[in-house]
Structure 1
Amino acid sequence: MNPSVAVVILNWNGKAFLEQFLPSVLRSKYDNLKIVVGDNGSTDDSVAFVKENFPGIEVLTNDLNYGFAGGYNRILARVEADYYILLNSDVEVTPNWIEPVIALMEADELIAAAQPKIKAFHNKKQFEYAGAAGGFLDIYAYPFCRGRIFNVYEDDQNQYNEQQEIFWASGAAFFIKSRYWKETGGLDADLFAHMEEIDLCWRLKNLGYKIMYCPESEVFHVGGGTLQTENPFKTYLNFRNNLIIMQKNLPAGDAAFRIFIRMWIDFIAWWHFLLSGKPKFTLAVSKGHWHFVKSVFKTAKKRTQVQRPYAEHAGVYNSSIVWAFFIKKIKYFNRLS
């Protein structure tokens, strides 16, 4: 029998997405599967809707909205399976999306997490923002993807159709062996949302595990279902959390150097928002930096016992993606050196 798999969809006031996309999840072809909707303190009628219309789906509830990270931690503590798949509620899956990823992960004990190919629901020829063909980090820990660098999205022309070790797997469709989830303690609830999957992957890599991309599996993501891209709170979380995960996971001296440089690069973004007439986003960057500084001692206590040299990790682009994109005008992943 195949390993047991639990697809766990964290929901917060997402009845419309559940109505639209749960049917595709139910058509998944895998013979040892259960589907769980974990509700994160919704105030709409999501829970009643699922129970009434999808009686075969298990529903677990949180009493409050604990964010993506805390919400999943609380729900998965009540789920037993060999593999967890953290699936966003705004994702349409294909019938055979599970088996190829599980087969890949079963082939190597060191593979802890993986993601499928993630394309845009509204343009199914194009890679999607949150994950595309696998996540990478640059020399200053800026995240980007094969198939998506900043706001440039590539069409899928089979250019990324090989299995490959990556730095981080997208939280939109995140496969992880449950024993490694438990070993690391899951997601960092203090991050609330955004970059929590990058932090988890980084911790796994520091422990010697691998993160993989599986192109034989394909899903389609709407994106921005909870927080739209143009949202100051999302900007705040991204700037704050990126610095936090650097402090947590880089070797100490390396962390101090890279964070110092990174904060100056962020200052350029601060000026860009200001000169673009977006004062709320300027404030979001300032708040992100301030709250990072305020939490530096708390974050220090979370540092893992092992921090491997950054450049040794698969999925690190040992240069600046900001410089490559904005100065050298390199817009596509396969043109990076």
Structure 2
Amino acid sequence: MKIGIVILNWNGIDLLKTYLPSVVEHRKEHVIYLADNASTDGSIAWTATHYPEVKIIAMGENRGYAGGYNAALDSVPEEVVCLLNSDVAVTAGWCDFIVRRFEIDPKLAACQPKILDDKKKEFFEYAGAAGGFIDRYAYPYCRGRLFDSIEKDLGQYDDVVDLDWASGACLFLRKSAYIKVGKLDEDYFAHQEEVDLCWRLRHAGFVISYEPQSVVYHLGGGTLNNLNPRKTFYNFRNCLYNIVKNDHSSLWLGVLFIRMLLDGIAALKFLSELKFAHFLAVLHAHFHFYRHLESLLKKRKEIKAFEKVLQVKNTDLSIVYQYFINGIKIYQK
């Protein structure tokens, strides 16, 4: 099976110079696309000159992660695609192991490799690690990473498991499933779009999985790092979006209320640490959420229309309670 490897880029010429060579080296018969979000740094010209085998998809404006990939995938004919960050180094066979999974399992809609830190290669990387899960209050976490606690890769997650979500840093997708559930939600713009997409895929009866034999190395923080209050805004707002759209349990309003209380505590913590920009980002996230509640409820209704099971159930645990109260800093089943 030939797949499309789609690298989204926005003014990332330095990242392309560092990371694109490994993708080209290990591409085999697969097709590489550079989806450019209106860069002004010469990314397109450099890629065309040095790697003419890479197909260019140029967009007229920066459409963010969701919008950029949605537009690009309209021009990609392959049924299985890999949405690959421009700051990811790949290894030999990284595609083969996952492509094989798609070939034998028609229910598989999304899959991720083992994602290690390109700066500290023996450790998992924040954005995905060994596969993602969602707690009762829509906090995403990973095997190998709880909040800012990162585990060393000792082979403890070398098993194939089904996930709640697969990382957008290196996300393999079955295009027909992605289209069926409505593509990436462009209202998110950045952060947690893959969590929402995978949640919708599970509602539709598809499987999300992890393949440990496929290994990549992610630099991370290439678009917005953890010190950027804009990232705080997107993460807090988009978690609320996820609850309204995708928590179809009878207790979802209670879950939303508790999550908003937890956000308030987080905002006060930012304030106590004199992180005023992050405090304001949380407030802004909530006001933005209120303004878009009507459209979110409409999307919730649309998702329920294609739901194949009564309810997609995430874990009942609160990762906040486990981490901050019980002091559990590593993933536990």
Query: When the two structures are superposed, what TM-score results if normalisation uses the length of structure 1?
Result: 0.95
Unaligned runs of 5+ in 2: none
Q: What is the Cα deviation at residue 15 of structure 1?
A: 0.1
Q: What is the Cα deviation at residue 107 of structure 1?
A: 1.9
- Aligned pair 1:192/2:189, yes or no? yes
Letter in 2 for 1:52: T
* Corresponding residue number in structure 2 for 1:251: 248
Q: CA RMSD in A?
A: 1.2
* Corresponding residue number in structure 2 for 1:12: 10
Distance in 2 (CA, whole Å) between partners of 1:210 and 1:252 is: 20
* Conservation of the 8 A alpha-carbon contact between 2:3 and 2:82: yes
Q: 1:99 aligns with which of 96, 99, 109?
A: 96
| Residues 135/89 of structure 1: CA separation in 2 closer, same or farther (3 Å cut) | same
Q: What is the Cα deviation at residue 176 of structure 1?
A: 0.6
Name which of structure 1's ranges 181-190 and 5-14 shifts more when overlaid on structure 2.
181-190
- Aligned pair 1:81/2:99, yes or no? no
* Corresponding residue number in structure 2 for 1:26: 24
Q: What is the Cα deviation at residue 178 of structure 1?
A: 1.4
Q: What is the Cα deviation at residue 254 of structure 1?
A: 2.8
* Corresponding residue number in structure 2 for 1:319: 317
Once the two structures are superposed, the pairs formed by residues 38-187 of structure 1 within 5 Å of their partners are 38-187=35-184
Give the aligned length: 329
Deviations along 1:249-274, one digit per CA (max 9) or x if unpaired, are 11164321111110001111011000
Distance in 2 (CA, whole Å) between partners of 1:155 and 1:274 is: 32
Letter in 2 for 1:204: L
Identity of aligned residues (%): 43
Deviations along 1:184-225, one digit per CA (max 9) or x if unpaired, are 231000100100000000000000111000000000000010
Deviations along 1:16-68, one digit per CA (max 9) or x if unpaired, are 0001111100111543x100000001121111111111111000111000110
Letter in 2 for 1:103: R
Distance in 1 (CA, whole Å) between partners of 2:13 and 2:72 is: 18
- Aligned pair 1:202/2:210, yes or no? no
Letter in 2 for 1:317: T
Distance in 2 (CA, whole Å) between partners of 1:66 and 1:106 is: 32
Unaligned runs of 5+ in 1: none
SS of residue paired to 1:185: coil
Once the two structures are superposed, the pairs formed by residues 257-336 of structure 1 within 5 Å of their partners are 257-303=254-300, 304=303, 305-306=305-306, 308=309, 312-313=312-313, 316-333=314-331, 336=332
Letter in 1 for 2:52: P
Distance in 1 (CA, whole Å) between partners of 2:316 and 2:104 is: 29
* Corresponding residue number in structure 2 for 1:225: 222
Once the two structures are superposed, the pairs formed by residues 233-244 of structure 1 within 5 Å of their partners are 233-244=230-241
Q: Structure 1 segments of 4 or more deviating over 4 A?
A: 306-310
* Conservation of the 8 A alpha-carbon contact between 1:250 and 1:309: no
Distance in 1 (CA, whole Å) between partners of 2:251 and 2:53 is: 50
Query: When the two structures are superposed, what TM-score results if normalisation uses the length of structure 2?
Result: 0.96
* Conservation of the 8 A alpha-carbon contact between 1:24 and 1:95: no
